[in-house]
Structure 1
Amino acid sequence: MLKESVESNGASVPPTETRKCPMKKTRTPAPKEQVLYLVLWWQTQTPYAAVFDDEVAACAAASVRNALVIEVRGTRLKIDRVVDYYRRDDAGRPMPAEWREVAAPALLPWAPRPKPAFG
């Protein structure tokens, strides 16, 4: 595609070619690195685990439970299992920790609370 431009005094400027360079290689973007926060805590000698993708929510959950926060970073993350070597089944094998679905808004003390309905 050729473009001819005109300067402010009326003189024309030679045409210029504007096109994409055929030799330019396009890069495929690298997979985005994912960050997860594994929160581990114990309650009445039972381990619990929860996974968060938000650092603030993970730290808030850990602070009210006196828990551990483990930051895991990578492109393809998967946590297969968490086992407790203190608790064992009848055959002596370590038992799995219990996974908890922790609701983040309930853990944040500054989150707005629903107002009670007065009837």
Structure 2
Amino acid sequence: MKKLYQDRGMMKWQGLILSEHAEMISREKNKPVKKEILFDEQQLEEFDQIIHSSIHLEKEIVFELNTFGDDSLLKVSGIVSECSQLSSQQPYFKLKGYNSTFRLDKIVSISFAAGVDGDGDID
């Protein structure tokens, strides 16, 4: 059977992408992908111990958060005032002097501030 016209294949569908669609596709490609941080039980227990030591002994801690999903980390320091690990919500803690909460699943590293070791002694 002879065709009356030459079929252009997929070329005929390319004109259906509107400029708004093209902008949305480029925004989605440039959106940062949040990296999942996985810790083993020992590291999570160490984080928990440092946080509880900060609460009870009022020691200053320093931790880094992966809040933006890229390689830039937010470094925060302070004394923990409250910690919540209810099963119905994500575990979080608050620092003295801060209004916001910090979720434990966003923490990359946590340690005591310089000059204080795990026993409360000054280095």
Higher-strand-fraction structure:
1
Same fold (TM over 0.5): no
TM-score tier (shorter): under 0.3
